[in-house]
Amino acid sequence: MQEESPVKVIDGRKLSDLLLEEMTQEVQERMQEGYPQPGLAVVLVGEDPASTIYVRNKIRCAEKAGLFSLVKRLDASCSQQTLDDVVVELNEREDIHGILVQLPLPKHLSEERIINLIDPTKDVDGFHPVNVGLLSSGQAKLVPCTPLGCMEMLKREMGDLTGKHAVVIGRSNIVGKPMANLLLQANCTVSIVHSKTIDAAALCRQADILVAAVGVAELVDKSWVKPGAVVIDVGINATEVDGKRKLVGDVNFADVADKCRAITPVPGGVGPMTIACLIKNTLTAAKQHDI
């Protein structure tokens, strides 16, 4: 009989389903107490296939959790003013607690302008400068969904993170920086590795928690990983193997897995948790609105 591997693969789909069940129950209880149904609006500009799939998945999860949801679809050629007007209208609607403008936008539209235009209390992506500042000072309520999903995974897998050395590979505004802030707030010692880091692999080998979010296919191999580390792979990279399209992470899963205490797969790891945390943020925004 073959000995079972001690490696644990963290099932993002299973965890996201659990999180959605918890939120569905909370939504039902709140509505029974007379609070309004939380509402999520997603703005989709153009017909990019990947963005269309993401939006469909987000709306499906929102409806599953009992949220009111709507999609505002705009032509890819729409003007900046048209997009601005849609966001302003959603800011003013009392039945909408969360607003998400699906990125990337067509090149003639300003992502920075739109992020700044969304009401910070409805910014369920957590990208508005107000929410970024609140996260930096440890006061954030609305946090970028991918780092929030990673933290849910880590806390459910490891419990108390106090004193752990966490290394984040990547310094993007969407994942790397907010991830580092959340880990600091969980009392980790945090290092950030980026393209200018000297001997990145040596620093990563010190990590009890390794979060890869740099967008380089299978960059991290076993020489980067400390035995017994927990590895969270945020990367989603399309590659071609034997003429077939395949999604891989920033971590070489096959090479690294037997060296870890636990690891997330790609796909089926962080991705589902990101969408579940969008719903979590919408519920958080609705609760803020009630105060």
Residue 104: cis peptide before it, omega within 30 degrees of 0: yes
Q: CA–CA separation, 124 vs 278, rounded Å? A: 6
From 125, 208, 233, 250, the catalytic residue:
125
Cβ(179)–Cβ(185) under 8 Å?
Answer: no
Residue of 244, 271, 259, 168 lying closest to 213 (CA atoms)? 168
Show the 3-state SS of 48-89: CHHHHHHHHHHHHHHHHCCCEEEEEEECCCCCHHHHHHHHHH
Is 236 marked as binding a ligand? Answer: yes
Active site residue 125: yes
Active site residue 84: no
List phi, psi (to 5°) of 133. -65, -40
170 marked as part of a ligand binding site: yes
CB 177 within 8 A of CB 211: no
Bridge-based pairing of strands 8-9 and 260-263 is: parallel
User: For this structure, is 233 an active site residue?
Assistant: no
Q: Which residue ranges are tagged as binding site for NADP(+)?
A: 170-172, 236
Catalytic positions = 58, 102, 125
